[in-house]
Chains A and B, each alone.
Chain A
Amino acid sequence: MAVLVAVALPLVLAGCQLPTFYGFRGSDRQGHDEFLLYFGTFVAALVVGGITGGLILWSVVRYRRRSHDAPMPRQFQYHIPLEVAYTVIPVVIVLVLFAFTVLVENQVDAVPSDPNLTVDVYAFQWGWQFNYPDGVVVRAETTTDPDPVGPAGLGGPACSPVVWCLGPGLILPAGKTTQIDLRSRDVVHGFFVPEFNFSRYAQPGVLNKFDFTVSKPGVYRAQCTQYCGLYHSLMFFHVVAMPPSKFHAWLSSETKTTTVDAATTASASRQ
């Protein structure tokens, strides 16, 4: 427990200065909370793993039988106080970890009552469709080698590296709360934005709601994580966070009705 308290304190004080342990710091508000939990758990795991692994290796090295006529070791079997100790201490560690888990998961799963924007997201074999208010639809399939969708062409930030921009783009206003209503048209898919530290299944017959508040404009790579059939490996999309003014300019400029070209590019269209 002392470990977790010791971890929690610098968490609050130092925030983003912590080492990442290979994880993402989280480019949206909830993702950052998840990063802090990951960080604390990682440190606790290092401590517990270090002690346990150290004891294993120490026992093997220290008590290795060095000669054939080594003396018979004492045949002891129980030590009740010790056994109670290593039952109770893990229970305490687990409960502390659970408390932090519940705090973070409640924050992550809370859905705002009045989001700035709600986007209906549909996953299908094999691609994504994003329905905006006023009938703006962005849709693309990824059954063929998907072309990069230049968000620059949508008036957003430049897309670099280009592999981050494969598949259709989910365009969001940065700094605002966007609610995603996630559905599947066929099998189970996974909506996963690594930099947001978040994933959620898209399932037939289930409506999943969650929200992002992306901190700063940028392009964030995303991909289907739940295996969904032949072209699962190619089912990319990306999230483009734009400054709100640019976002609204983009949304209102999408007036023309264009045919959705499923195989080659994502296109924005008003239906």
Chain B
Amino acid sequence: MTVLAQRPVAVEHPEHHEGPTGILKWLTSTDHKVIGMNYIVTSLVMFFFAGIMALIMRAQLTSPSGAVVSLQQYNELFTMHGSLMLYLFAGPFAFGGLANYIVPLQVGAPDMAFPRLNALSYWLFLSGSITMMLSFMVAGGAAAFGWVAYAPLSEATFSPGSGPDLWILALVLTGFSAIFTGVNLITTIFYLRAPGMTMFRMPLFTWNMLVTAMLILIAFPVLTAAMVLLWCDRHFGTHIYTVQGGGVPVLYQNLFWFFGHPEVYILALPYFGIVTDVIPVMSRKPLFGYKGMVFATMAIAALSTGVWAHHMFTTGVVLLPFFSLLSLLIAVPTGIKFFNWIGTMWRGSITLNTPMLFCIGFLLAFLMGGLTGVMLASPPIDFVTHDTYFVVAHFHQVLMGTAVFAGFAGFYFWYPKFFGRMLSDRLGKLHFWFLFIGFWVTFMPQYKLGLMGMPRRVATYQAGLGWQNLNIASTVGAFIIGFSFVFFLVNLWVSWRKPVPAGDNPWDAHALEWFATSPPVHHNFTRLPPIRSERPVWDFHHPDALTIAHGENGHGKLAGTAVPAGQD
């Protein structure tokens, strides 16, 4: 095993010195790492705003006829909570932040394929985020039609004012941002892979981002178009979504969910990718069923384009069996992923550090959210639970499982790469356990509330229905979740004030990003290891523990000696 050149001491790339520094660097950079970090910071700020909105809503629901906020304020809060979480956090954090930073490193590229387009994506995203937040400051308040903005409720007749306009504008801006990022990721992955990095040697995170980027190109233009049409209805006198002018309101639902369901997987697949990268590293084993995992990802993406109407089972205007069957079938590739994750841990040597704990939190949360998702894919059961708290609990378990548990698994996993310093494992574990307990306390009561008939998006409910105690439990859980992020912020603070150097490869990891310095130099690599499997860095450090393709046939290659982690 040879390396092309002896590793030099990590020095900044010469051209780096010519560029601006400080704030000007952050404003003008086209470096994928700087832009990625911009995305991560911006989307986390949006995540905290949206989380605070959730806590206000939970406070409102602790008592029947709660008076923390007014009906109108509550309606604005749940609209903006959903919009911020889905459009400005969960997606951009994954495909704008982590993918932007990590994918070029994982394929051995110096940058994204179109660095300036990448910068444009970020600035569109930031403009969209600011536009959406500004809607709180206009007369009439922010949009109050839910994150789905169903027409005709979102028409000017029922939602007048500039708050809804700003909301629509924000979606158009961030929609273009996502599309450009999708183009950039696909081009990078197809054209900028290092020699030896064949498609079937790419880490699963990169694979998942490739499939996600394709879904973005399928879904986001439809959303952006739907928003432009809505804008025309509101301002130019068209009647695309109104009955009065001969339009079809349900067209909006079809367009929205044609985006909206692939969107769910745009928000999920990157996080599956994170977990699929972290679990093998922390189990000291190759990913079990690598190719099956790739095909499962593709199958999920393909199926996800044909299931949108399962959000419309109760409309009475969609073909139930078709959408039901396709929705149920998604359980199959998802099940494959679960068993591959289990197979990776099986007979492994599992280190239960912070990233791994977050991955296990993801597995359990997503298992629960997935099973209730299978129930919801059956129209008769959806008739019972549609638009109730059962659905609220379901999609929070899915989306928090992915974007929060898996998302923070990725953050804790790659933080040493971003900054060259470690986060405290003890504080990380405290963050995990509070989040984990709060998560289950928040959402399990909501399933029961839904089955008792509590609709979602209600600012108030009546006493005497037996809903209060369950709501109080849910609120307590939500505040535990909120509190858990104190440990996260303290952890960042401690790491900033008292840095613990991480080295290049603190986890004894597999993929190419761990061969770069921490943080990587400008244009990422001064040399690369030979790429002969999907674990080039592992192969480099553990030439005695190469992957045995077929488990039952490789007993002779059992490596019996320990190799200390993190040597370089």
The answer to whether B383 has its CB under 8 Å from any CB of chain A is yes
Contact A37 B315 (CB under 8 A): no
Contact A63 B345 (CB under 8 A): yes
User: Which residues on A sit within 8 Å (CB–CB) of B554?
Assistant: 74-76
Q: Which of A43-78 contact B (CB under 8 A)?
A: 45, 48-49, 52-53, 55-56, 59-60, 63-65, 68-78
Q: CA A230 – CA B76 in complex, angstroms?
A: 10
Q: Return B427 CB to nearest CB of chain A, in Å.
A: 21
The answer to whether A163 has its CB under 8 Å from any CB of chain B is yes
Contact B316 A63 (CB under 8 A): no
User: Which residues on A sit within 8 Å (CB–CB) of B546?
Assistant: 75
Task: Name the contact of B462 in the complex, choosing from A166, A199, A205, A210 (C-beta under 8 A).
Answer: A166
Q: CA A82 – CA B152 in complex, angstroms?
A: 50
Instruction: Type the 1/0 row for B369-383, where 1 means its CB is closer than 8 Å to any CB of A.
Output: 001101100111101
User: Which residues on B sit within 8 Å (CB–CB) of A227?
Assistant: 75, 145-146, 150, 153, 387, 456-457
The answer to whether B548 has its CB under 8 Å from any CB of chain A is yes
Q: Which of B538-554 contact A (CB under 8 A)?
A: 542, 545-552, 554
Contact B384 A197 (CB under 8 A): yes
A contacts with B: majority SS? mixed
Contact B348 A73 (CB under 8 A): yes
User: Which residues on B sit within 8 Å (CB–CB) of A221?
Assistant: 453, 465
Task: Name the contact of A38 in the complex, choosing from B290, B360, B375, B457 (C-beta under 8 A).
Answer: B375
Q: Which of A64-109 contact B (CB under 8 A)?
A: 64-65, 68-80, 82-83, 86-87, 90-91, 94, 97-98, 101-102, 104-105, 108-109
Across the A-B interface, give the 9 residue pairs with the lowest CB-CB distance, nearest first: A194-B453, A76-B551, A225-B387, A233-B458, A59-B345, A205-B243, A208-B316, A227-B457, A163-B462
A binding-site residues for B, Cβ under 8 Å: 21-24, 33-34, 37-38, 41-42, 45, 48-49, 52-53, 55-56, 59-60, 63-65, 68-80, 82-83, 86-87, 90-91, 94, 97-98, 101-102, 104-105, 108-109, 125, 161-163, 166, 186-188, 190, 192, 194-195, 197-201, 203-206, 208, 210, 221, 223-234
Contact A33 B336 (CB under 8 A): no
Q: Return B357 CB to nearest CB of chain A, in Å.
A: 9
Known contacts A188-B153, A201-B316, A203-B315; is A77 also within 8 Å of B287 by CB?
Answer: yes
Task: Name the contact of A190 in the complex, choosing from B317, B324, B455 (C-beta under 8 A).
Answer: B455
What are 21 A-B interface contacts by the 8 Å CB criterion?
A: A56-B345, A63-B350, A65-B350, A69-B562, A71-B349, A72-B349, A75-B546, A77-B287, A77-B290, A78-B289, A78-B551, A87-B292, A104-B380, A163-B464, A190-B387, A197-B380, A199-B387, A201-B316, A225-B456, A227-B456, A228-B153
Task: Name the contact of A233 in the complex, choosing from B150, B249, B459 (C-beta under 8 A).
Answer: B459
Q: CA A108 – CA B321 in complex, angstroms?
A: 13
Instruction: Type the 1/0 row for B425-460, where 1 means its CB is closer than 8 Å to any CB of A.
Output: 000000000000000000000011001110111111
User: Which residues on B sit within 8 Å (CB–CB) of A68?
Assistant: 562, 564
Q: Which of B126-159 contact A (CB under 8 A)?
A: 144-146, 150, 152-153, 158-159
Q: CA A33 – CA B384 in complex, angstroms?
A: 12
The answer to whether B258 has its CB under 8 Å from any CB of chain A is no
Known: A48-B371, A192-B453. 12 other contacts (CB 8 A): A41-B375, A53-B364, A53-B367, A65-B284, A69-B562, A71-B561, A94-B329, A163-B463, A192-B455, A199-B384, A206-B315, A223-B453
Q: CA A166 – CA B348 in complex, angstroms?
A: 59
The answer to whether B558 has its CB under 8 Å from any CB of chain A is yes
User: Which residues on B sit within 8 Å (CB–CB) of A22?
Assistant: 447-448, 451-452
Task: Name the contact of A60 in the complex, choosing from B288, B291, B338, B345 (C-beta under 8 A).
Answer: B345
Task: Name the contact of B550 in the complex, choosing from A76, A86, A188, A200 (C-beta under 8 A).
Answer: A76
Instruction: Type the 1/0 row for B332-363, where 1 means its CB is closer than 8 Å to any CB of A.
Output: 10011011111101111111100000001001
Q: CA A271 – CA B102 in complex, angstroms?
A: 70
User: Which residues on A sit within 8 Å (CB–CB) of B545?
Assistant: 72, 75
Q: Return B324 CB to nearest CB of chain A, in Å.
A: 6
Contact A204 B152 (CB under 8 A): yes
Contact B158 A75 (CB under 8 A): no
Q: CA A69 – CA B343 in complex, angstroms?
A: 23
Residue in B453, B459, B562 with the greatest tally of chain A CB atoms within 10 Å: B453
The answer to whether B294 has its CB under 8 Å from any CB of chain A is no
Closest to A45 in B: B371
The answer to whether B286 has its CB under 8 Å from any CB of chain A is yes
Q: Which of B68-98 contact A (CB under 8 A)?
A: 71-72, 75
User: Which residues on A sit within 8 Å (CB–CB) of B451?
Assistant: 21-24
User: Which residues on A sit within 8 Å (CB–CB) of B387?
Assistant: 190, 192, 199, 225-227
Contact B243 A225 (CB under 8 A): no
Q: Return B259 CB to nearest CB of chain A, in Å.
A: 18
